[in-house]
Amino acid sequence: MAKAPTLSGIIVPFSGSPRFRLIGHAGKLVTIKASADFRTWQALATDPNPTGVIDFTDPTAGALPFRFYRAVQASR
């Protein structure tokens, strides 16, 4: 079974746009999702992850009091 993508190194600068690194399998399609309540998830980006590492910034998070993230391997 393939290991799920992982998020690491989250940084929230004064601008309020969190940045983090996603590590997964190179060449596998990955969807980054966000939620304010752990119930409703919105897809923010889908990336083919050509190198196995994605650096992601969420410019829409600054206006929200809470934001949670997850990454899932997407099907093509």
SS3 state at 19: strand
Q: Which two tokens stand for residue 5?
A: 């993508």
pLDDT digits (tens, 9 = 90+) for 1-33: 557 788 888 888 887 789 999 999 899 999 999
pLDDT digits (tens, 9 = 90+) for 42-76: 999 999 999 999 999 998 887 888 889 999 987 76
- Type of residue at 20: F
Q: Which two tokens stand for residue 14?
A: 């004064």
Domain ranges of the chain: 6-73
Burial class of residue 12 (count of CB atoms within 10 Å of its CB; 0-12, 13-18, 19+): middle
Question: Residues near 14 by Cβ (< 8 Å), separated by ≥ 6?
Answer: none
